[in-house]
Amino acid sequence: MNKRMEDALNGQINAEMYSSYLYLSMSAYFADKNLNGFANWMRVQAQEELAHAMKFFDFVNERGGRVELKAIEQPQKEWDSVVDAIEETYKHEQLVTSLINNLVNVAIEEKDHATNNFLQWFVSEQVEEEARASELLGELKMIDGKGPAMFMIDRELKTRVFVPITQPGA
């Protein structure tokens, strides 16, 4: 793995760690609002992002690169509303998608086929991540983030569980 690709992947490790921090911060925000289902959903989201960071971490090591951990920026801790927080989640997932796409571009430019192949899992994962956030945001906008339907959504979000990445090549 060349230095340009290694640096780009190290940047993504930091971005994934930041994503985990951001979603943990959102989990704390929702727990403080007594929205324990939303808090759970975000906690699971944070676990997924940490798993993604570790997937990049392991890949860099497997390719003979050097992982360089950098400071993780402090995340936001307050939002104007539930809708605002979930809108931030959707925007953040769109940002992560652009970061993954940029990594693919670097891999292609560097003719690093192994990294390009590795990144395709994340390309597919981001489609799912954006869809989940968009769906939740759409539901919240339909009810204007208020009323009895919030109770139902919160209850549904309590059922989400973290599923570790276990499939081959994942």
* 5 contacts 112 by C-beta, under 8 angstroms: yes
Domain-embedded: residue 167: no
Give residue-wise pLDDT tens across range 66-90.
999 999 999 999 999 999 999 999 9
What's the CATH code of the domain at 117? 1.20.1260.10
Mean pLDDT of the chain: 96
Give residue-wise pLDDT tens across range 107-160.
999 999 999 999 999 999 999 999 999 999 999 999 999 999 999 999 999 999
Give residue-wise pLDDT tens across range 36-55.
999 999 999 999 999 999 99
Is the pLDDT score of 169 beyond 60? no
Is the pLDDT score of 170 beyond 80? no
For residue 38, give both structure tokens. Answer: 């939303």
Separation between Cα atoms, residue 168 and residue 170, nearest integer Å: 5
Domain-embedded: residue 168: no
Separation between Cα atoms, residue 8 and residue 168, nearest integer Å: 24
The reported pLDDT for the residue numbered 101 is 98
Domain-embedded: residue 169: no
Read off the pLDDT of each residue in 98-115 and give the average, rounded to a whole number: 98
Domain-embedded: residue 163: no
The reported pLDDT for the residue numbered 165 is 83
Domain-embedded: residue 170: no
Q: Is the pTM of this model over 0.85?
A: yes
Residue 141 lies in domain: 3-72+80-157
The reported pLDDT for the residue numbered 67 is 98
Domain-embedded: residue 57: yes
Domain-embedded: residue 164: no
The reported pLDDT for the residue numbered 167 is 54
Which 8-state DSSP code applies to residue 75? P
Is the pLDDT score of 166 beyond 90? no
CA 108 to chain centre: 23
Domain-embedded: residue 63: yes
The band of 91, judged by pLDDT with boundaries at 50, 70 and 90, is very high
Question: Considering only CA atoms, which of 132, 152, 120 is closest in space to residue 42?
Answer: 132
Is the pLDDT score of 61 beyond 60? yes
Say how many domains are in the chain.
1
For residue 29, give both structure tokens. Answer: 């925000």
The reported pLDDT for the residue numbered 78 is 98
Give residue-wise pLDDT tens across range 4-24.
999 999 999 999 999 999 999
